[in-house]
Structure 1
Amino acid sequence: MPAPAPTTDRTPTDRKFLGLLPLPERTFLADALRAETVGGVLLLLAAVAALVWANSPFGDSYESVRDLHIGPAALGLDLSIEHWAADGLLAVFFFVAGIELKRELVAGELRDPKAAALPVIAALCGMAAPALVYVLTNAAGGGSMDGWAVPTATDIAFALAVLAVIGTSLPSALRAFLLTLAVVDDLFAILIIAVFFTSDLNFAALGGAFAGLVVFWVLLRTGVRGWCVYVPLALVVWGLMYNSGVHATIAGVAMGLMLRCSRRDGERHSPGEHIEHLVRPLSAGLAVPLFALFSAGVAVTGKSIGDVFTQPVTLGVVLGLVVGKAVGIFGGTWLAARFTKAELNPDLAWPDVFAVATLAGIGFTVSLLIGELAFEGDAALTDEVKAAVLIGSLIAAVLATFLLKLRVRKYEALLAEEERDEDEDGIPDVYEQHDPEYHLRMAAIHERKAAEHREKARLAGAPRDDADSPA
């Protein structure tokens, strides 16, 4: 039986859990994660700047800027800078998250229910376990249950920044698994915000926001183009959503989900992919770092750090991120693989999954947002929870760094094999293994290199030795 002809759109025949990704998916993933990594480094720098500013002799100026109110009061938008960052700028972040989710559902890892089952189960367990750890910690210590959702979120940008800083290049399958976890995580974080952190509803504003979303959808379906149409409409929808009592970031998610993310004949990129490519730098490079700058600035003292590990609320957040995330994701993945009989890529091992699960304990951006919503009105407790998120994320990052460094040589070898392209045709050789002409091309390449070697030897005046040729 002849081998199937190669195609860049097929799924490799040896597709396993954490196996080789289809080439288009791998290419898209590389582009997306490159932007996220840059944004993650900026996020890290913004968080450090916030902490330094808030704990410097100029700490009062940090609070003054953060609490400065600007905006039209007549429209209900006289908000503090911190509020604008959380409700306004993060709407851009969630808009991109909505596009990512839509793309995963129609063209990515979540499009196949069987393939999606494992990362979805892992993500759900990775949210349920931290919440359970938080609840048990506060039930035992008599703390508040209001913060149960704080340790449930994963910050993919911060996680990738950690990878960039420590210089660890994960194989694309592990990065895709981490990204899929984060996308599903974002989906349920959105649902948590919408369901549990919605204040008294203003049905007139909510109806107006819904009508605006309908107009947005109709314009998309009729092929209307131009940012001058969509950006003003998006701002109107956001303002109405904010005044409705539903968290304003939901507007961003809804609009992101409406974009078409499937490619038609003749299209190199779908509209959703194109817009994501344009907006992601704004989200990762500006919106999220500014949110971090005005949210991560908490006073850090020896006493405040000690309180994080002695108060049930803050201890629950730290344990949820460090223990709950790792145990939940790893346990959910292992159980799902066991019951679905999914085979792990033989080049990887279960400790690799545990290392990625530990890395997912970095829960910066959305955890800070949920912490602000959960303890709104209690500034002191909000700052304590923020400190707990920072410390928990730092511990998770250190543990993940240690675990990943143990296997760094293996990861580098796997990544080099993925990227090897000896015939220089732009397609990695691993994707051409089932091409019946592949070995003929490779033989020709080796013969060409051998001829070049012999010619160099002749010109150098050295005796030719065919035994030394690359062939």
Structure 2
Amino acid sequence: MPASTTATKGRKVLGRLSLPERNFVADALRTETLGGVLLLLAAIAALVWANSGVKESYESVRDFHLGPASLGLELSVGHWAADGLLAVFFFVAGIELKRELVAGDLKDPRAAVLPVVAALCGMAVPALVYTLVSVTGGGSLAGWAVPTATDIAFALAVLAVIGTSLPSALRAFLLTLAVVDDLFAILIIAVFFTDDLDFAALGGAVVGLAVFWLLLRKGVRGWYVYVPLALVIWGLMYNSGIHATIAGVAMGLMLRCTTHEDEAHSPGEHIEHLVRPLSAGLAVPLFALFSAGVAVSGDAIGEVFTRPETLGVVLGLVVGKAVGIFGGTWLAARFTRAELSEDLAWPDVFAVASLAGIGFTVSLLIGELAFEGDEVLTDEVKAAVLTGSLIAAILASVLLKVRNAKYRKLCEAEELDEDLDGIPDIYEQDNPEYHLRMADIYERKAAEHRRLAEVTAGASEENNGPA
């Protein structure tokens, strides 16, 4: 995702995006926001279904096994959603990361300082909060990674629901945080949630990835080549003991995300455009449907705030994320001698940092991995993720609404196109031709006003003349 949020000397923190980056952000937001709304609806459906009179049917569907047992892939529906469908989500995340590393602002180490530091602090502080709460309360440290993730789709869905006119610079900041956040979440899953390795299967997956890379390098085209190969790689990665979503990330990172002279879009951007709707509209909502269905009652919600593991998750998401991202942003800006954009204030950064406390999809996944084998604690941690995400969403909504009038003015300024050339006026202020066009427009408007004034004066004289 684009990162206009750089903090190098002589540049503004959260300054206005370049026009190409602004257009890229707008395109990405449309799909992510729609996906976030579907994700929200899926989560609500899961909670209603799992707490209704037919909750047994929810468990029966979620736990129903299917798939070829001879290949080690006879998995439950819930397992397919977590290991299979989320591989599509991480495939898109891999493409986004590759684009940022080779064509976006993360390509420049100086420009990458702020989003990387903010994201790292936004993961380290929640983990620290969870650890402190668990150690103090005598709980398990296994869930330290649960509150470290941000769900960008859910966060954008909240923005869509509350109707906040967030400027593109703040949205880009949130999107960039999510990309870096996804990278480290991937590393956490790969390093800390890999048990026994099957080196034969892992070797096969590596060979498959090498073939995938060679085909891309040779310019071979055709979904009928890559989709079957991707499925084989995924199956081998699953059987290797490494979480299967890593296969999606690896393939996404292999795609070329730079354009040649005869290309309007790179292959990576083109494939991302095709696959993102599948990820946001189907894969992630179905994962939510079969992961968010936990029993909710007054007693269950009360236990979220009394058990150290669940309280650590809630506080990690609500407090840790906000403090970590805000503190990391401030420190990065302070030590790179950058200044916050004059259009924004530091409370705006804190509000967006609070919004990043919505850690739904990846937090649920890590919760399942961290407490695998303990169904009761897994469900309680899921309830904690839902509770923490809800509190973070409410807090961020209040903070953003306070400044919504200011945001609306900034958005209107970004959209204003008086000369109707398809380019917002704010991006043409240094263009002499733009000023000539605007002078001509103003002259024509003035002439029209003079003509109307003359017509009005003539009509007035006729009405006031002798009877």
TM category, shorter: over 0.9
Match of 2:160 among 157, 164, 167: 164
Aligned equivalent of 2:356? 360
Select which of 311, 315, 321 maps to 1:319. Answer: 315
Per the TM alignment, residue 448 of structure 1 is displaced from its structure 2 partner at its CA by: 2.2
Q: Which residue of 2 aligns with 1:331?
A: 327
Instruction: Evaluate the alpha carbon distance shift between residue 15 and residue 453 of structure 1 in structure 2; reply closer, same or farther with a 3 A threshold.
Output: farther
Q: In the alignment, what sits opposite 1:79?
A: 75
- Taking the aligned partners of 1:65 and 1:278, their CA distance within structure 2 comes to 29
Aligned-residue offset at 1:381: 0.3
Match of 2:262 among 231, 241, 266: 266
Count of matched residue positions in the alignment of Structure 1 and Structure 2 = 452
Deviation per residue, 1:82-126 (Å, 9 max, x gap): 000000000000000000001111122312211110110000000
- Contact kept, 8 Å, 2:11 with 2:338, in 1: the verdict is no
Q: Secondary structure at the match of 1:266?
A: coil
Query: Structure 1 residue 429: deviation in Å?
Result: 1.1
Tell me if 1:233 matches 2:229.
Answer: yes
Deviations 1:225-253 (A, max 9, x none): 11011100000000000000000000000
Q: Which residue in the other structure is 1:3 paired with?
A: none
Q: 1:422 to 1:242 in 2, by over 3 A?
A: same
Give the letter for the 1:422 counterpart: E
Distance 1:458 1:222, change over 3 A: farther
Q: Deviations over 1:419-441 (max 9, x none)?
A: 11111111111111111232222
SS at match of 2:237: helix
Conserved 8 A contact 1:197-1:373: yes
Deviation of the 1:460 alpha carbon? 6.8
1:68-467 equivalent positions in 2, closer than 5 A:
68-455=64-451
CA contact (8 A) 1:96 1:280 kept: yes
Q: Using the alignment, how far apart are the partners of 2:273 and 2:453 within structure 1?
A: 49
For residue 406 of structure 1, what is the amino acid of its counterpart? V
Q: Once the 2 structures are TM-superposed, how far is the Cα of residue 451 of structure 1 from its aligned partner?
A: 3.2
**Residue equivalent to 1:4:** none
Distance, in Å, in 1 between the alignment partners of 2:108 and 2:255 is 20
- Displacement of 1:262 in angstroms is 1.0
Cα 1:460/1:234, change in 2 over 3 Å: farther
* Secondary structure class of the residue paired with 1:437: helix
Kindly provide the amino acid, as one letter, of the partner of residue 157 in structure 1: A
8 Å contact kept, 1:457–1:463: no
Q: d(CA) in 2 for partners of 1:400 and 1:450?
A: 46
- Asked if the contact 2:11/2:339 (under 8 Å) is kept, the reply is no
Task: Give the AA of the match of 2:423.
Answer: I
1:453 offset after TM fit, Å? 3.8
SS in 2 for 1:347: coil
Q: Which moved more, 1:98-107 or 1:313-322?
A: 98-107
d(CA) in 2 for partners of 1:461, 1:70: 83
1:110 match: secondary structure = helix
Q: CA-atom RMSD, angstroms?
A: 1.4
Identity of aligned residues (%): 80
Q: C-alpha separation between the residues in 1 aligned to 2:453 and 2:459?
A: 7
> SS at 2:157's partner residue?
helix
Secondary structure of the corresponding residue to residue 154 of structure 1: coil
Distance in 2 (CA, whole Å) between partners of 1:409 and 1:462 is: 43
Deviations 1:48-78 (A, max 9, x none): 0000000000101000000000000000000
Deviates more, 1:453-462 or 1:235-244: 453-462
- After the TM superposition, which segments of 4 or more aligned residues of structure 1 sit over 4 Å from their partners? 454-464
Q: Is the 8 A contact 1:109 1:180 kept in 2?
A: no
Gaps of 5+ in 2: 1-8, 461-467
Code of the aligned partner of 2:131: V
Structure 1 residues 462 and 161, CA, compared in 2 at 3 Å: closer, same or farther?
farther
- Match in the other structure for 2:465: none
- The answer to whether the 8 A contact 1:150-1:371 is kept is yes
Q: Which amino acid in 1 is paired with 2:18?
A: P
TM-score with structure 1 length normalisation? 0.94
Output the TM-score relative to the length of structure 2.
0.95
Conserved? CA contact 1:15–1:21, under 8 Å: no
Residues 73/457 of structure 1: CA separation in 2 closer, same or farther (3 Å cut):
farther
SS state at 2:261 partner: coil
Q: Do the aligned partners of 1:51 and 1:298 also contact (CA within 8 Å) in 2?
A: yes
Contact 1:69 1:81 in 2 (8 A): yes
Report the equivalent of 2:50.
54
1:58/1:130 CA distance change after superposition, 3 Å: same
Which residue identity lines up with residue 245 of structure 1 in the other structure?
Answer: G
In structure 2, what is the Cα distance between the partners aligned to 1:281 and 1:462? 61
Structure 1 stretch displaced more, 187-196 or 254-263 = 254-263
Measured against aligned partners, the alpha-carbon deviations of 1:258-300 in whole angstroms (never above 9, x if no partner) come to 1111111131111111100000000000000000000000000
